A and B are shown apart, each in its own frame.
Chain A
Amino acid sequence: SYEVTQPPSVSVSPGQTARITCSGDALSKQYTYWYQLKPGQAPVMVIYKDSERPSGIPERFSGSSSGTTVALTISGVQAEDEADYYCQSVDSGGSYVVFGGGTKLTVL
């Protein structure tokens, strides 16, 4: 089955830039979406269609895509950004949804 791969963890100090990658063969053909999960809360989409920022999401969140790798970048990380982040896409045929394994962002 199709899989997308994320690093399990990323750590940064406040004010620094965090970059979380997501890799998968179909990511060059299908859009990727990014979600922020905090304990006890529903997921929140922070990046839409590789690089668009939904309404209400701070400008420090950005997305990029290059070939089969996409990235979520958080510039000027704040303590409140500490969370799990998941990339999500679909298989190349657009038949089923796949999530990355998640990346735990720790703000030191």
Chain B
Amino acid sequence: QVQLHQWGAGLLKPWETLSLTCAVYGGSFNEYSWNWIRQPPGKGLEWIGEVSHSGSTNYNPTLKSRVTISGDTSSNQISLKLTSVTAADTALYFCARRKRDHYGTSTWAFDIWGPGTMVNVSS
């Protein structure tokens, strides 16, 4: 059973860099694309971006200038860095796996999610 564990600093000051890590246990890491998604308090889900098994990345255009997502196949971990945070970046951050269909093709569905990490940005 694949499980995702997340960790990272939960309290940041404005203009600092958010840094989160997500570890994959119990399943293949290399065959999937791994994503970060967030939910600000009282608001909806927002896709941040992804890193594929090949290391290529794809980001939400609205966050692209501040986001870096990377993957480490040796430790089965992915990381998220978001620079110059503001209060608007306060959110519950999830890592999630893109589902592969029965042909082995990656879909845009997210079938496995981490538990979420709450990040607060406050001066």
Task: Using CB atoms and an 8 Å cutoff, list the residues of chain A in contact with chain B.
Answer: 1, 30-31, 33, 35, 37, 42-45, 48-49, 54, 86, 88-90, 94-102
B58:A96 contact, CB within 8 angstroms: yes
**A48 vs B110: C-alpha distance in the bound complex, in angstroms?**
9
Tell me which residues across on chain B come within 8 A of A43, comparing CB atoms. Answer: 45, 94, 96, 110, 113
A49 and B109 within 8 A (CB):
yes
Contact of B47 among A35, A44, A96, A102 (CB under 8 A): A96
A-B contact pairs, 20 of them (CB 8 A): A1-B62, A31-B109, A33-B108, A37-B39, A37-B45, A42-B94, A43-B110, A45-B109, A48-B109, A49-B109, A88-B108, A88-B109, A89-B108, A95-B58, A97-B37, A97-B108, A99-B37, A99-B46, A99-B47, A102-B44
Chain B residues bordering chain A, tally (CB within 8 A)? 24
Residue among B44, B96, B109 with the most chain A CB within 10 A? B109
Given known pairs A1-B62, A42-B116, A48-B99, the reply for A99 and B111 (CB within 8 Å) is no
B10 is an interface residue with CB less than 8 A from chain A: no
Cα separation A52 to B115 with both chains bound (whole Å): 24
Q: Please report B residues at the A interface, Cβ cutoff 8 Å.
A: 35, 37, 39, 44-47, 58-62, 94, 96, 99, 107-111, 113-116
Assembly CA distance A58 to B110 (angstroms): 18
Which of A30, A54, A100, A101 interacts with B108 by CB under 8 Å? A30
Shortest Cβ gap from A54 to chain B (Å): 7
CB of B120 to closest CB in A, whole Å: 16
* Known contacts A37-B45, A97-B60; 14 further A-B pairs (Cβ under 8 A): A31-B107, A33-B108, A37-B39, A43-B45, A43-B96, A43-B110, A45-B111, A86-B45, A90-B108, A94-B108, A95-B58, A96-B58, A97-B108, A102-B45
Q: Which of A42, A48, A96, A100 contacts B44 (CB 8 A)?
A: A100
